[in-house]
Chain A
Amino acid sequence: MARIIKVLNLNYRYPDGTTGLNNVSFEVEEGETLVIIGANGTGKSTLFMNLMGVLDGDGHIEIMGLTLNKLNLKNIRREMGMVFQNPDDQLFCPTVMDDVSFGPLNLGWGKNEVIKASQKALALVDMEGYESRTSHHLSFGEKKRTAIATVLSMNPKILLLDEPTSGLDPRSTSKFINILYTLKSQGKTLLIVTHDIFLAQEIADRVLVFSEGKQPVAIGNYKEILNNTDLLLKNNLVHQHRHRHEEVVHEHEHEHKHGYSHKH
Protein backbone atom coordinates (compact mmCIF):
# COMPACT_ATOMS: atom_id res chain seq x y z
CA MET A 1 0.00 0.00 0.00
CA ALA A 2 1.14 3.51 -0.77
CA ARG A 3 1.80 6.11 1.88
CA ILE A 4 -0.96 8.71 1.92
CA ILE A 5 -0.07 10.88 4.95
CA LYS A 6 3.33 11.72 6.30
CA VAL A 7 3.87 13.92 9.33
CA LEU A 8 7.40 14.77 10.32
CA ASN A 9 8.56 16.68 13.41
CA LEU A 10 5.33 18.63 13.76
CA ASN A 11 5.25 21.14 16.60
CA TYR A 12 2.48 23.56 17.48
CA ARG A 13 2.16 26.24 20.11
CA TYR A 14 -1.07 28.10 20.86
CA PRO A 15 -0.92 31.93 20.77
CA ASP A 16 -0.73 32.00 24.61
CA GLY A 17 2.42 29.86 24.47
CA THR A 18 0.84 26.55 25.54
CA THR A 19 2.27 23.56 23.73
CA GLY A 20 -0.29 21.96 21.44
CA LEU A 21 1.88 19.36 19.73
CA ASN A 22 5.36 18.26 20.58
CA ASN A 23 7.48 16.71 17.84
CA VAL A 24 4.83 14.56 16.20
CA SER A 25 5.88 12.13 13.45
CA PHE A 26 3.93 9.28 11.89
CA GLU A 27 2.80 7.88 8.57
CA VAL A 28 -0.50 6.51 7.30
CA GLU A 29 -1.01 4.15 4.41
CA GLU A 30 -3.77 4.34 1.83
CA GLY A 31 -6.99 2.57 2.86
CA GLU A 32 -5.80 2.19 6.43
CA THR A 33 -7.80 3.00 9.54
CA LEU A 34 -5.61 4.67 12.11
CA VAL A 35 -7.17 5.33 15.49
CA ILE A 36 -5.46 8.01 17.53
CA ILE A 37 -6.08 7.56 21.23
CA GLY A 38 -5.04 9.75 24.10
CA ALA A 39 -6.39 11.32 27.26
CA ASN A 40 -8.13 14.70 27.23
CA GLY A 41 -5.95 17.61 26.15
CA THR A 42 -3.17 15.54 24.60
CA GLY A 43 -3.32 17.35 21.26
CA LYS A 44 -5.35 14.89 19.18
CA SER A 45 -7.80 17.47 17.82
CA THR A 46 -4.97 19.99 17.41
CA LEU A 47 -3.24 17.44 15.19
CA PHE A 48 -6.35 17.24 12.96
CA MET A 49 -6.56 21.02 12.74
CA ASN A 50 -2.93 21.04 11.62
CA LEU A 51 -3.55 18.31 9.06
CA MET A 52 -6.44 20.33 7.61
CA GLY A 53 -4.31 23.47 7.48
CA VAL A 54 -6.57 25.34 9.88
CA LEU A 55 -3.72 25.69 12.39
CA ASP A 56 -0.24 26.33 11.13
CA GLY A 57 2.39 24.37 13.05
CA ASP A 58 6.13 23.93 12.43
CA GLY A 59 7.17 20.76 10.68
CA HIS A 60 6.47 18.85 7.53
CA ILE A 61 3.07 17.48 6.51
CA GLU A 62 2.62 15.62 3.26
CA ILE A 63 -0.78 14.45 2.09
CA MET A 64 -1.19 12.35 -1.08
CA GLY A 65 2.28 13.42 -2.14
CA LEU A 66 1.48 17.12 -1.70
CA THR A 67 3.28 19.18 0.89
CA LEU A 68 0.79 21.05 3.04
CA ASN A 69 1.22 24.74 2.24
CA LYS A 70 -0.97 27.61 1.07
CA LEU A 71 -0.48 26.61 -2.55
CA ASN A 72 -1.67 23.03 -2.11
CA LEU A 73 -4.24 23.66 0.60
CA LYS A 74 -7.24 23.74 -1.74
CA ASN A 75 -6.23 20.50 -3.48
CA ILE A 76 -5.61 18.79 -0.16
CA ARG A 77 -9.00 19.85 1.20
CA ARG A 78 -10.64 18.41 -1.92
CA GLU A 79 -9.28 14.99 -0.98
CA MET A 80 -9.46 15.14 2.80
CA GLY A 81 -12.57 15.86 4.84
CA MET A 82 -12.95 16.44 8.54
CA VAL A 83 -15.89 15.72 10.82
CA PHE A 84 -15.80 17.93 13.89
CA GLN A 85 -16.50 16.71 17.39
CA ASN A 86 -19.59 18.87 17.91
CA PRO A 87 -22.07 18.49 15.04
CA ASP A 88 -23.60 21.88 15.87
CA ASP A 89 -20.33 23.44 14.67
CA GLN A 90 -20.46 21.50 11.43
CA LEU A 91 -24.14 22.01 10.57
CA PHE A 92 -24.50 25.73 10.05
CA CYS A 93 -27.00 25.93 7.18
CA PRO A 94 -30.78 26.26 7.55
CA THR A 95 -31.54 22.78 6.16
CA VAL A 96 -29.83 19.38 6.00
CA MET A 97 -29.62 19.52 2.20
CA ASP A 98 -28.01 22.97 2.30
CA ASP A 99 -25.40 21.62 4.70
CA VAL A 100 -24.65 18.45 2.76
CA SER A 101 -24.39 20.30 -0.54
CA PHE A 102 -22.24 23.11 0.89
CA GLY A 103 -18.88 21.37 0.24
CA PRO A 104 -19.56 20.10 -3.33
CA LEU A 105 -20.95 23.51 -4.34
CA ASN A 106 -17.78 25.17 -3.09
CA LEU A 107 -15.78 22.66 -5.13
CA GLY A 108 -17.55 24.06 -8.18
CA TRP A 109 -19.54 20.94 -9.11
CA GLY A 110 -22.62 21.18 -11.32
CA LYS A 111 -26.10 21.28 -9.78
CA ASN A 112 -27.12 17.76 -10.81
CA GLU A 113 -23.81 16.31 -9.68
CA VAL A 114 -24.17 18.07 -6.31
CA ILE A 115 -27.71 16.78 -5.78
CA LYS A 116 -26.68 13.25 -6.73
CA ALA A 117 -23.63 13.28 -4.43
CA SER A 118 -25.62 14.79 -1.55
CA GLN A 119 -28.39 12.22 -1.84
CA LYS A 120 -25.84 9.40 -2.04
CA ALA A 121 -24.08 10.68 1.08
CA LEU A 122 -27.38 10.99 2.97
CA ALA A 123 -28.36 7.47 1.91
CA LEU A 124 -25.04 6.13 3.16
CA VAL A 125 -25.64 7.52 6.64
CA ASP A 126 -29.29 6.48 6.63
CA MET A 127 -30.61 10.03 6.52
CA GLU A 128 -32.71 9.87 3.36
CA GLY A 129 -35.87 11.93 3.55
CA TYR A 130 -34.31 14.47 5.92
CA GLU A 131 -33.23 16.85 3.13
CA SER A 132 -35.55 19.72 3.99
CA ARG A 133 -35.34 19.24 7.76
CA THR A 134 -33.81 21.98 9.89
CA SER A 135 -30.52 20.92 11.49
CA HIS A 136 -31.38 22.11 14.98
CA HIS A 137 -34.49 19.94 15.04
CA LEU A 138 -32.47 16.73 14.61
CA SER A 139 -31.49 14.43 17.47
CA PHE A 140 -27.83 14.30 18.46
CA GLY A 141 -27.30 10.96 16.66
CA GLU A 142 -28.95 12.31 13.51
CA LYS A 143 -26.82 15.43 13.71
CA LYS A 144 -23.68 13.29 13.96
CA ARG A 145 -24.71 11.24 10.92
CA THR A 146 -25.58 14.36 8.96
CA ALA A 147 -22.20 15.85 9.89
CA ILE A 148 -20.44 12.87 8.33
CA ALA A 149 -22.67 13.19 5.23
CA THR A 150 -21.55 16.81 4.80
CA VAL A 151 -18.05 15.49 4.25
CA LEU A 152 -18.94 12.30 2.33
CA SER A 153 -20.79 14.35 -0.29
CA MET A 154 -17.38 15.69 -1.35
CA ASN A 155 -16.21 12.10 -1.85
CA PRO A 156 -12.88 12.54 -0.05
CA LYS A 157 -10.19 9.86 -0.08
CA ILE A 158 -9.20 10.60 3.50
CA LEU A 159 -11.57 11.18 6.40
CA LEU A 160 -10.63 12.69 9.74
CA LEU A 161 -13.16 12.01 12.46
CA ASP A 162 -12.85 13.82 15.76
CA GLU A 163 -14.46 11.87 18.61
CA PRO A 164 -17.16 10.41 16.34
CA THR A 165 -18.95 8.40 19.00
CA SER A 166 -18.80 10.82 21.92
CA GLY A 167 -22.25 11.61 23.30
CA LEU A 168 -23.96 8.84 21.34
CA ASP A 169 -26.16 6.20 22.94
CA PRO A 170 -25.24 2.52 22.34
CA ARG A 171 -27.63 2.05 19.38
CA SER A 172 -26.44 5.21 17.67
CA THR A 173 -22.83 4.20 18.34
CA SER A 174 -23.33 0.84 16.69
CA LYS A 175 -25.07 2.56 13.74
CA PHE A 176 -22.10 4.89 13.46
CA ILE A 177 -19.60 2.04 13.59
CA ASN A 178 -21.50 0.36 10.73
CA ILE A 179 -21.09 3.53 8.69
CA LEU A 180 -17.37 3.49 9.43
CA TYR A 181 -17.19 -0.15 8.29
CA THR A 182 -18.89 0.80 5.01
CA LEU A 183 -16.42 3.61 4.47
CA LYS A 184 -13.55 1.29 5.26
CA SER A 185 -14.83 -1.27 2.77
CA GLN A 186 -14.96 1.51 0.16
CA GLY A 187 -11.22 1.91 0.57
CA LYS A 188 -11.28 5.27 2.35
CA THR A 189 -8.41 6.14 4.63
CA LEU A 190 -9.80 6.86 8.08
CA LEU A 191 -8.10 8.75 10.88
CA ILE A 192 -10.17 8.63 14.03
CA VAL A 193 -9.46 10.55 17.20
CA THR A 194 -11.02 9.06 20.28
CA HIS A 195 -10.47 7.99 23.84
CA ASP A 196 -13.02 5.24 23.40
CA ILE A 197 -10.98 2.03 23.55
CA PHE A 198 -14.00 0.00 22.39
CA LEU A 199 -14.18 1.97 19.17
CA ALA A 200 -10.45 1.48 18.60
CA GLN A 201 -10.87 -2.24 19.12
CA GLU A 202 -13.79 -2.39 16.68
CA ILE A 203 -12.42 -0.47 13.77
CA ALA A 204 -8.66 0.15 13.96
CA ASP A 205 -5.98 -1.36 11.77
CA ARG A 206 -3.33 0.48 13.70
CA VAL A 207 -3.43 2.57 16.86
CA LEU A 208 -1.40 5.68 17.67
CA VAL A 209 -1.13 6.60 21.33
CA PHE A 210 -0.72 10.22 22.36
CA SER A 211 0.86 10.93 25.71
CA GLU A 212 0.08 13.76 28.07
CA GLY A 213 3.33 15.27 26.80
CA LYS A 214 1.40 16.00 23.54
CA GLN A 215 3.40 13.59 21.47
CA PRO A 216 2.96 10.06 20.10
CA VAL A 217 4.48 7.42 22.33
CA ALA A 218 3.48 4.27 20.48
CA ILE A 219 2.13 3.21 17.14
CA GLY A 220 1.36 -0.26 15.96
CA ASN A 221 -1.10 -3.03 15.34
CA TYR A 222 -4.27 -2.51 17.36
CA LYS A 223 -3.98 -5.85 19.19
CA GLU A 224 -0.44 -5.17 20.20
CA ILE A 225 -1.22 -1.67 21.49
CA LEU A 226 -4.54 -2.37 23.15
CA ASN A 227 -3.14 -5.40 24.98
CA ASN A 228 -0.29 -3.36 26.40
CA THR A 229 -1.99 -2.49 29.68
CA ASP A 230 1.07 -0.75 31.11
CA LEU A 231 1.17 1.61 28.16
CA LEU A 232 -2.56 2.35 28.41
CA LEU A 233 -2.38 2.86 32.16
CA LYS A 234 0.62 5.14 31.90
CA ASN A 235 -1.12 7.30 29.32
CA ASN A 236 -4.36 7.60 31.25
CA LEU A 237 -6.38 5.51 28.82
CA VAL A 238 -7.50 2.85 31.26
CA HIS A 239 -7.88 2.98 35.00
CA GLN A 240 -7.37 0.49 37.80
CA HIS A 241 -10.46 -1.07 39.32
CA ARG A 242 -10.71 -1.17 43.04
CA HIS A 243 -13.74 -2.80 44.53
CA ARG A 244 -14.82 -4.75 47.51
CA HIS A 245 -16.38 -8.17 47.99
CA GLU A 246 -17.49 -8.36 51.60
CA GLU A 247 -14.22 -7.85 53.51
CA VAL A 248 -11.81 -8.37 50.59
CA VAL A 249 -10.66 -5.40 48.49
CA HIS A 250 -9.64 -6.23 44.91
CA GLU A 251 -7.48 -4.14 42.67
CA HIS A 252 -6.93 -5.00 39.02
CA GLU A 253 -6.54 -3.41 35.59
CA HIS A 254 -9.65 -2.43 33.74
CA GLU A 255 -9.80 -4.84 30.82
CA HIS A 256 -11.41 -3.55 27.65
CA LYS A 257 -12.12 -6.77 25.87
CA HIS A 258 -15.47 -8.08 24.83
CA GLY A 259 -16.67 -10.96 26.97
CA TYR A 260 -14.06 -10.34 29.65
CA SER A 261 -14.97 -11.02 33.23
CA HIS A 262 -12.36 -10.76 35.90
CA LYS A 263 -11.63 -13.56 38.33
CA HIS A 264 -11.38 -13.20 42.09
Chain B
Amino acid sequence: MKRTNSLLENLDPRSKIISFLAIIFCMILTPITRLKDFGLYFLVILVMAFISRIPPRQLLKRVCVLIPFILFIAMFVPFVKQGHMCWSVKIYNWELGVTYEGIWTFLNIVIKSSLSVLLLVIASSTTTFSDFLKGLDLLRIPQLMIMITSFMYRYIFVLFDEAKRLMRARSIRYFGSRYKEQFRVIGYMIGVLFIRTYERAERIYNAMIVRGFNGKAISINHLRFSYMDFLFIAGIFISLIFIISGLIYKIEHVKINDTHLWHGL
Protein backbone atom coordinates (compact mmCIF):
# COMPACT_ATOMS: atom_id res chain seq x y z
CA MET B 1 0.00 0.00 0.00
CA LYS B 2 1.13 3.54 -0.75
CA ARG B 3 2.83 5.29 2.16
CA THR B 4 0.74 8.14 3.53
CA ASN B 5 3.23 9.54 6.05
CA SER B 6 0.41 9.90 8.56
CA LEU B 7 0.66 10.20 12.32
CA LEU B 8 -0.24 6.54 12.74
CA GLU B 9 2.36 5.48 10.18
CA ASN B 10 5.10 7.39 11.96
CA LEU B 11 4.34 5.84 15.34
CA ASP B 12 6.59 3.15 16.77
CA PRO B 13 5.13 -0.29 15.87
CA ARG B 14 5.29 -1.23 19.56
CA SER B 15 2.77 1.43 20.50
CA LYS B 16 0.45 0.26 17.73
CA ILE B 17 0.77 -3.40 18.72
CA ILE B 18 0.09 -2.61 22.40
CA SER B 19 -2.85 -0.30 21.69
CA PHE B 20 -4.48 -2.48 19.06
CA LEU B 21 -4.14 -5.60 21.19
CA ALA B 22 -5.65 -3.72 24.13
CA ILE B 23 -8.64 -2.71 22.02
CA ILE B 24 -9.12 -6.28 20.76
CA PHE B 25 -8.76 -7.65 24.29
CA CYS B 26 -11.39 -5.24 25.63
CA MET B 27 -13.75 -5.98 22.76
CA ILE B 28 -13.48 -9.72 23.39
CA LEU B 29 -14.27 -9.28 27.08
CA THR B 30 -17.22 -6.95 26.49
CA PRO B 31 -20.54 -8.85 26.49
CA ILE B 32 -22.31 -8.53 23.17
CA THR B 33 -25.46 -7.35 24.94
CA ARG B 34 -23.68 -4.01 25.57
CA LEU B 35 -24.18 -3.02 21.97
CA LYS B 36 -23.62 0.68 22.71
CA ASP B 37 -20.05 -0.13 23.80
CA PHE B 38 -19.34 -1.61 20.38
CA GLY B 39 -20.57 1.59 18.80
CA LEU B 40 -17.96 3.42 20.88
CA TYR B 41 -15.23 0.92 19.93
CA PHE B 42 -16.19 1.53 16.32
CA LEU B 43 -15.89 5.26 16.91
CA VAL B 44 -12.36 4.85 18.36
CA ILE B 45 -11.36 2.73 15.37
CA LEU B 46 -12.87 5.27 12.97
CA VAL B 47 -10.80 8.03 14.57
CA MET B 48 -7.70 5.90 14.03
CA ALA B 49 -8.69 5.25 10.42
CA PHE B 50 -9.10 8.99 10.00
CA ILE B 51 -5.67 9.86 11.41
CA SER B 52 -4.07 7.05 9.40
CA ARG B 53 -5.17 8.89 6.24
CA ILE B 54 -6.00 5.64 4.47
CA PRO B 55 -8.45 6.37 1.65
CA PRO B 56 -11.88 5.10 2.87
CA ARG B 57 -12.45 3.27 -0.40
CA GLN B 58 -9.21 1.35 0.01
CA LEU B 59 -9.99 0.58 3.63
CA LEU B 60 -13.44 -0.73 2.75
CA LYS B 61 -12.07 -2.77 -0.12
CA ARG B 62 -9.57 -4.52 2.13
CA VAL B 63 -12.11 -5.12 4.90
CA CYS B 64 -14.62 -6.51 2.43
CA VAL B 65 -12.15 -9.17 1.36
CA LEU B 66 -12.19 -10.67 4.84
CA ILE B 67 -15.82 -10.10 5.87
CA PRO B 68 -17.24 -12.99 3.73
CA PHE B 69 -15.02 -15.46 5.63
CA ILE B 70 -16.44 -14.21 8.93
CA LEU B 71 -19.98 -14.40 7.62
CA PHE B 72 -19.40 -17.89 6.29
CA ILE B 73 -18.23 -19.09 9.70
CA ALA B 74 -21.04 -17.32 11.59
CA MET B 75 -23.99 -17.86 9.26
CA PHE B 76 -24.90 -21.32 10.58
CA VAL B 77 -24.75 -20.36 14.25
CA PRO B 78 -28.33 -19.00 14.59
CA PHE B 79 -29.66 -22.29 13.24
CA VAL B 80 -27.59 -24.70 15.30
CA LYS B 81 -27.37 -22.94 18.67
CA GLN B 82 -29.81 -24.40 21.20
CA GLY B 83 -32.10 -22.00 23.08
CA HIS B 84 -35.34 -20.08 22.95
CA MET B 85 -36.98 -20.26 19.58
CA CYS B 86 -37.33 -16.95 17.77
CA TRP B 87 -38.55 -18.08 14.40
CA SER B 88 -39.06 -21.46 12.78
CA VAL B 89 -40.25 -23.03 9.60
CA LYS B 90 -41.35 -26.60 8.97
CA ILE B 91 -40.07 -28.31 5.86
CA TYR B 92 -41.82 -31.68 5.64
CA ASN B 93 -40.83 -33.47 8.83
CA TRP B 94 -37.83 -31.26 9.49
CA GLU B 95 -37.99 -28.03 11.47
CA LEU B 96 -35.56 -25.23 10.75
CA GLY B 97 -35.41 -22.73 13.59
CA VAL B 98 -33.50 -19.65 14.68
CA THR B 99 -32.90 -19.10 18.40
CA TYR B 100 -32.38 -15.85 20.30
CA GLU B 101 -29.14 -17.25 21.72
CA GLY B 102 -28.05 -18.10 18.19
CA ILE B 103 -28.69 -14.55 16.99
CA TRP B 104 -26.67 -13.11 19.88
CA THR B 105 -23.79 -15.51 19.19
CA PHE B 106 -23.96 -14.60 15.51
CA LEU B 107 -23.77 -10.89 16.37
CA ASN B 108 -20.97 -11.61 18.84
CA ILE B 109 -18.85 -13.28 16.16
CA VAL B 110 -19.66 -10.84 13.34
CA ILE B 111 -19.29 -7.57 15.28
CA LYS B 112 -16.13 -8.50 17.20
CA SER B 113 -14.43 -10.08 14.18
CA SER B 114 -15.34 -7.23 11.84
CA LEU B 115 -14.00 -4.60 14.23
CA SER B 116 -10.83 -6.66 14.72
CA VAL B 117 -10.42 -6.99 10.95
CA LEU B 118 -10.84 -3.24 10.59
CA LEU B 119 -8.10 -2.73 13.16
CA LEU B 120 -5.90 -5.28 11.42
CA VAL B 121 -6.30 -3.51 8.09
CA ILE B 122 -5.39 -0.15 9.68
CA ALA B 123 -2.39 -1.77 11.38
CA SER B 124 -1.13 -3.50 8.24
CA SER B 125 -1.64 -0.36 6.14
CA THR B 126 0.39 1.82 8.48
CA THR B 127 3.18 -0.60 9.45
CA THR B 128 5.64 -2.41 7.20
CA PHE B 129 6.01 -6.10 7.91
CA SER B 130 9.67 -5.80 8.91
CA ASP B 131 8.82 -3.00 11.36
CA PHE B 132 6.00 -5.09 12.76
CA LEU B 133 8.44 -7.98 13.35
CA LYS B 134 10.98 -5.63 14.93
CA GLY B 135 8.24 -4.30 17.19
CA LEU B 136 7.34 -7.84 18.25
CA ASP B 137 11.01 -8.60 18.87
CA LEU B 138 11.40 -5.53 21.07
CA LEU B 139 8.26 -6.55 22.96
CA ARG B 140 10.11 -9.75 23.86
CA ILE B 141 7.97 -12.11 21.78
CA PRO B 142 9.92 -15.43 21.45
CA GLN B 143 12.49 -15.15 18.65
CA LEU B 144 11.54 -18.52 17.22
CA MET B 145 8.01 -17.28 16.54
CA ILE B 146 9.32 -14.10 14.92
CA MET B 147 11.77 -16.02 12.74
CA ILE B 148 9.10 -18.47 11.61
CA THR B 149 6.78 -15.55 10.74
CA SER B 150 9.58 -13.76 8.93
CA PHE B 151 10.48 -16.85 6.88
CA MET B 152 6.84 -17.48 6.09
CA TYR B 153 6.48 -13.93 4.78
CA ARG B 154 9.71 -14.19 2.78
CA TYR B 155 9.16 -17.63 1.25
CA ILE B 156 5.41 -18.06 0.91
CA PHE B 157 5.48 -16.61 -2.63
CA VAL B 158 8.57 -18.62 -3.55
CA LEU B 159 6.65 -21.69 -2.43
CA PHE B 160 3.56 -20.66 -4.40
CA ASP B 161 5.73 -20.22 -7.50
CA GLU B 162 7.22 -23.66 -6.95
CA ALA B 163 3.73 -25.19 -6.60
CA LYS B 164 2.55 -23.31 -9.69
CA ARG B 165 5.46 -24.69 -11.73
CA LEU B 166 4.58 -28.24 -10.64
CA MET B 167 0.92 -27.70 -11.54
CA ARG B 168 1.92 -26.33 -14.92
CA ALA B 169 4.22 -29.29 -15.59
CA ARG B 170 1.32 -31.63 -14.80
CA SER B 171 -1.28 -29.74 -16.78
CA ILE B 172 0.72 -29.73 -20.03
CA ARG B 173 0.95 -33.51 -19.86
CA TYR B 174 -2.59 -34.19 -18.67
CA PHE B 175 -5.26 -34.64 -21.29
CA GLY B 176 -8.31 -35.40 -19.15
CA SER B 177 -9.88 -38.64 -17.83
CA ARG B 178 -8.12 -41.12 -15.47
CA TYR B 179 -9.55 -39.03 -12.65
CA LYS B 180 -8.83 -41.51 -9.87
CA GLU B 181 -5.16 -41.54 -10.77
CA GLN B 182 -4.99 -37.76 -10.43
CA PHE B 183 -5.28 -38.03 -6.65
CA ARG B 184 -2.11 -40.12 -6.65
CA VAL B 185 -0.38 -37.59 -8.93
CA ILE B 186 -1.41 -34.69 -6.69
CA GLY B 187 -0.09 -36.68 -3.74
CA TYR B 188 3.27 -37.04 -5.52
CA MET B 189 3.30 -33.31 -6.22
CA ILE B 190 2.71 -32.48 -2.57
CA GLY B 191 5.54 -34.87 -1.68
CA VAL B 192 7.89 -33.27 -4.19
CA LEU B 193 6.96 -29.82 -2.92
CA PHE B 194 7.71 -30.92 0.63
CA ILE B 195 11.13 -32.35 -0.33
CA ARG B 196 12.03 -29.20 -2.28
CA THR B 197 10.97 -27.02 0.63
CA TYR B 198 13.01 -29.14 3.01
CA GLU B 199 16.08 -28.91 0.79
CA ARG B 200 15.63 -25.16 0.41
CA ALA B 201 15.40 -24.85 4.19
CA GLU B 202 18.73 -26.65 4.46
CA ARG B 203 20.35 -24.29 1.93
CA ILE B 204 18.94 -21.24 3.73
CA TYR B 205 20.28 -22.53 7.02
CA ASN B 206 23.71 -23.01 5.42
CA ALA B 207 23.57 -19.45 4.09
CA MET B 208 22.77 -18.29 7.63
CA ILE B 209 25.54 -20.16 9.41
CA VAL B 210 28.24 -19.06 6.96
CA ARG B 211 27.29 -15.49 7.91
CA GLY B 212 27.80 -16.16 11.58
CA PHE B 213 24.27 -17.17 12.67
CA ASN B 214 24.34 -18.90 16.03
CA GLY B 215 20.67 -19.26 16.86
CA LYS B 216 19.93 -15.63 17.64
CA ALA B 217 18.63 -13.33 14.93
CA ILE B 218 19.87 -9.79 15.41
CA SER B 219 18.65 -6.82 13.40
CA ILE B 220 19.35 -3.11 13.41
CA ASN B 221 16.95 -1.33 15.71
CA HIS B 222 15.99 2.02 14.22
CA LEU B 223 12.80 2.31 16.24
CA ARG B 224 12.39 5.16 18.70
CA PHE B 225 9.66 5.47 21.29
CA SER B 226 8.69 9.14 21.23
CA TYR B 227 6.30 11.23 23.35
CA MET B 228 3.72 10.82 20.55
CA ASP B 229 3.76 7.08 21.19
CA PHE B 230 3.11 7.64 24.88
CA LEU B 231 0.30 10.06 24.06
CA PHE B 232 -1.23 7.59 21.61
CA ILE B 233 -1.13 4.69 24.07
CA ALA B 234 -2.47 6.91 26.87
CA GLY B 235 -5.28 8.14 24.63
CA ILE B 236 -6.31 4.61 23.68
CA PHE B 237 -6.16 3.33 27.25
CA ILE B 238 -8.18 6.26 28.63
CA SER B 239 -10.81 5.71 25.93
CA LEU B 240 -10.98 2.03 26.79
CA ILE B 241 -11.35 2.74 30.51
CA PHE B 242 -14.18 5.14 29.75
CA ILE B 243 -15.93 2.56 27.60
CA ILE B 244 -15.49 -0.47 29.87
CA SER B 245 -16.30 1.29 33.12
CA GLY B 246 -19.37 2.94 31.64
CA LEU B 247 -18.04 6.36 32.71
CA ILE B 248 -18.84 7.70 29.30
CA TYR B 249 -22.57 7.17 29.97
CA LYS B 250 -22.36 8.76 33.40
CA ILE B 251 -20.96 11.96 31.89
CA GLU B 252 -24.39 12.39 30.37
CA HIS B 253 -25.85 12.78 33.85
CA VAL B 254 -23.14 15.01 35.33
CA LYS B 255 -24.61 18.28 36.53
CA ILE B 256 -22.78 21.55 37.15
CA ASN B 257 -24.85 24.20 38.97
CA ASP B 258 -27.95 22.09 38.47
CA THR B 259 -27.39 22.06 34.72
CA HIS B 260 -26.41 19.06 32.62
CA LEU B 261 -22.79 19.17 31.44
CA TRP B 262 -23.95 18.95 27.83
CA HIS B 263 -26.18 21.97 28.24
CA GLY B 264 -23.26 23.93 29.64
CA LEU B 265 -21.19 23.02 26.62
Residues of A within 8 A of B (CB): 49, 52, 54, 74, 77-78, 81-82, 84, 86, 88-95, 97-98, 101-103, 105-107, 111, 114-115, 132, 134-136, 150-151, 154
User: Cβ of B209 and Cβ of A54 under 8 Å apart?
Assistant: yes
CA A88 – CA B197 in complex, angstroms?
12
Interface digits, B117-147 against A, CB 8 Å rule (1 contact, 0 not)? 0000000000011100100000000000000
CB distance from B216 to the nearest CB of A (A): 8
Say yes or no: is B154 at the interface (Cβ < 8 Å to chain A).
yes
User: Cβ of B218 and Cβ of A106 under 8 Å apart?
Assistant: yes
Nearest opposing residue in chain A for B206, CB measure? A54
Question: Which among B133, B204, B209, B212 is the interface contact of A94 at CB below 8 angstroms?
Answer: B133
Say yes or no: is B208 at the interface (Cβ < 8 Å to chain A).
yes
CA A128 – CA B206 in complex, angstroms?
27
CA A97 – CA B130 in complex, angstroms?
10
CA A135 – CA B130 in complex, angstroms?
12
User: Cβ of A77 and Cβ of B210 under 8 Å apart?
Assistant: yes
From known contacts A98-B130, A101-B220, A114-B220, infer whether A154 and B211 are also in contact, taking CB-CB under 8 Å. yes
Residues of chain A within 8 A (CB-CB) of B158 are 88, 136
For chain A, what secondary structure do more than half of its interface residues adopt (helix, strand, loop), or is it mixed? Answer: helix
- Most chain A beta carbons < 10 A, residue from B154, B158, B210, B211: B210
CA A111 – CA B220 in complex, angstroms?
7
From known contacts A49-B206, A111-B220, infer whether A102 and B211 are also in contact, taking CB-CB under 8 Å. yes
Nearest opposing residue in chain A for B133, CB measure? A94
The 4 closest A-B pairs by CB, nearest first: A106-B212, A103-B211, A94-B130, A89-B203
User: Cβ of A89 and Cβ of B204 under 8 Å apart?
Assistant: yes
From known contacts A98-B219, A101-B220, A106-B218, infer whether A92 and B130 are also in contact, taking CB-CB under 8 Å. no
Nearest opposing residue in chain A for B219, CB measure? A98
Residues of chain A within 8 A (CB-CB) of B218 are 102, 105-106
- Most chain A beta carbons < 10 A, residue from B128, B208, B211: B211
From known contacts A77-B210, A77-B212, A97-B220, infer whether A84 and B154 are also in contact, taking CB-CB under 8 Å. no
CB distance from B221 to the nearest CB of A (A): 8
Residues of chain B within 8 A (CB-CB) of A101 are 219-220
CA A84 – CA B150 in complex, angstroms?
20
Nearest opposing residue in chain A for B157, CB measure? A136
CA A47 – CA B141 in complex, angstroms?
39
CA A155 – CA B85 in complex, angstroms?
74
